[in-house]
Structure 1
């Protein structure tokens, strides 16, 4: 293996893992939202307050923040790789994987925000309907 090919490998691997990380964080957020709502509805916390704020939206907001920060870091790191040459060693793969990681992180961030939005406008557990 040449030194050039060895130096290219880890960067492409990180970009591929960043793509998977974006999707995993999106799935984690989805799971957290349902777990928080299920816990609140099962234990009767739908009307509970924490520090004067409704418990369910506050926990979902915290989960959103915990997931959004790494997504923003992935997006930032992946977009840094987009400024390089179109091809590296005659292959376009390193730039494509960085582009794909940035796209997945961006779409995952939007999905996370859209998943969290209903908790701000709808009551937990259907209370008030």
Structure 2
């Protein structure tokens, strides 16, 4: 029975840390509350700066996309304007108006007594 009792004491010494063989050579350094607050504030600032940078980069990408889309819309509108000006010139052409007058409205060029000169 005494032998069983010795093992219990040795096990207690190991569990309680009385055995110097397992003790660490240097104690674990402790950080004070003030240093911990400084570290937390610095980390929060770093996270905030990262989020701000990310947000600004996303804004940049969105605005450049809008500028590109607006530029494409402007090119399309310029092309449409050019086509409409060509169509307007065709609609106003003298040859087209003369052919419409003679074919659709049975008009003819005026005779000399129908012309009135204004001074």
TM-score interval for Structure 1 and Structure 2 normalised by the shorter chain: 0.3 to 0.5
User: Structure 1 length as normaliser, TM-score?
Assistant: 0.30
Comparing both chains, which one has the higher relative contact order based on Cα–Cα distances under 8 Å and sequence gaps of 6 or more? Answer: 1
Structure number with greater Rg is 2
Q: Relative to total residues, which structure has the larger helix share, 1 or 2?
A: 1
